[in-house]
Amino acid sequence: MDARFVIDHDEAGPRLRGRMGFAEAATAASRWRELVGAGQQQVEVDLSGLERPDSATLAVLLAWSARAQHAGIRLLYREPPPGLLALARLCGTEQLLLA
């Protein structure tokens, strides 16, 4: 699988794939608007394609949620990789990630 971080879009909505770790976090943090279309109030984001998620991945996803919420948009993350879900539980942010 290509490890480069990509935001794809299909009929089901946006899908993240590749690596979004410490090296990609600064650039990825500003890309949350790529997830939403005009007039959307809720967007489901498929996380199943993320590779080797770490604390930087979790931080970016939580920052995206906060920015979207500030803009009146709700991001819903679905199919998080098991490692990301375990990290969110460990950090006490599972409810924020999956809210």
Condensed to tens digits (0 to 9), the pLDDT of residues 41-89 reads 999 999 999 999 999 999 999 999 999 999 999 999 999 999 999 999 9
| CATH number for 93 | 3.30.750.24
CA distance 55 to 61: 10
Q: Is residue 1 part of a domain?
A: no
The tally of domains found in the chain comes to 1
Q: Is residue 46 part of a domain?
A: yes
Angle at 76 between CA 40 and CA 88, to 5 degrees: 150
Q: Is residue 56 part of a domain?
A: yes
Burial class, 23, CB count within 10 angstroms (exposed 0-12 / middle 13-18 / buried 19+): exposed
The boundaries of the domain holding residue 89 are 6-97
pLDDT value at residue 39 = 81
Task: Using the Cα atoms of residue 32, residue 49, residue 47 and residue 94 in order, give the sign of their dihedral.
Answer: negative
Query: pTM of the entire structure?
Result: 0.92
To which H or E segment does residue 17 belong?
strand 13-19
Q: Is residue 68 part of a domain?
A: yes
Question: Does 1 have pLDDT greater than 60?
Answer: no
pLDDT band at 37 (very low <50, low <70, confident <90, very high): confident
